[in-house]
Homo-oligomer: A and B are copies of this chain.
């Protein structure tokens, strides 16, 4: 598998024929063919190196040898299902339990964040005997039928909103109804959830759960205002529902200071269900639901087995355990604090310099930089953000956008991202934005700057299709 089997054009042609076209490629007009990766670096078919700013799944770095070794060793011993007793699943659950508040002490292992959120929905409904779900605007919780229903980001483009789904405003203090100048945006946004519950009750509906990513990602790298989660949880509990914290993108130390992003909301807040996924296996399909004894007991009480063929198998758990070891041994949470903090500072300096940079927000290695037409209207600059992404790709930096208007440049790199990487990407952005310095940049002015001399040292060759882009 090490060598290229097909020329890039042929791979692309076969992919267009054989793989459903709903499965999209990065940089669809000129996709990148990646052959190998290590740490935070990707290498294409010509050996060209790219800096990876977005692969949060490859949490401790692409192809970390400790993970590969743990997987191979366990694959040689046993790769069976969880109907047989095995130590790995209990060892792993025990290690995860140690990262969570005590009440989150029962675990279900599954294969993807989507499977985790679907199970969370089933748990919440079984426990509360209620059906309805409150979600945040622009949220995305997965690709399954049940999760598209609770993902405004998807259902708005598809079959629309179900009667059992209630959409609360995204607590976005940059674009939202309450902004950074509000005295207590946490309370104000939490009150919108309370009102939504009251409206639902008036219609005779009953709330099973409030679902939210602990830091909304697709929503635009949002940081919840202080006190928001705790107050929402109070209202939801009062309505007989449970709080589901979707930590699929944000867990496992990405925020640096804490292992879970919900812990940023203080020790007096604890969700009832936590779902985890993407970074858990460094690329390997593993995900998990953690919940309380009471909720697990209610699920058991229905008398129906929950069997997940691959979930919690000895190899997945060996990989999960190895990943936890690497996070600790390499102090990757500390690295997220240091490098994420430095990167945020660098981006804040760019904000001072470049009027296109409307907002910089984030914590640890979860950072968003919002590109706006101007800072007064805060009008999202979607095309300019897309252009920045394309230009960064030419500089061999892989990055992408998020948010309702795809105007937020998102950083969620492998956790081994270095100070030098942060400086490289910041310098590049500075130079790209600098081409249009002194004026609100137009796309025309930003097009086709000369290659940046300081940044081409790692470019051994320029593939023709890039030169033509």
Interface of A toward B, CB cutoff 8 Å: 1-2, 4-6, 8, 11-12, 14-15, 17-26, 31-37, 42, 55, 57-58, 62-63, 65, 67-68, 70-91, 93-94, 97, 105-109, 111-115, 118-119, 121-122, 143-146, 154, 157-158, 277-278, 282-286, 291, 296-297, 299-300, 302-310, 312-316, 318
Contacts and interface: CB of A to CB of B under 8 A. Distances in A.
10 contacts: A11-B90, A20-B106, A20-B306, A23-B307, A37-B79, A55-B81, A57-B310, A71-B71, A285-B286, A285-B316
A36 to B, nearest CB: 5
B91 A118 contact: no
Contacts of A21: 296-297, 300
Contacts of A316: 285
A209 to B, nearest CB: 13
A4 to B, nearest CB: 7
**Identical subunits present:** 2
Contacts of A93: 14, 18-19
A309 B106 CA distance: 25
Nearest to A43: B78
A56 to B, nearest CB: 10
A317 B403 CA distance: 31
Given A11-B90, A79-B283, 7 more contacts: A12-B85, A22-B302, A26-B84, A57-B81, A58-B80, A112-B308, A283-B310
Nearest to A16: B90
A91 B304 contact: no
Given A35-B77, A55-B80, A122-B145, A20 B310 contact: no
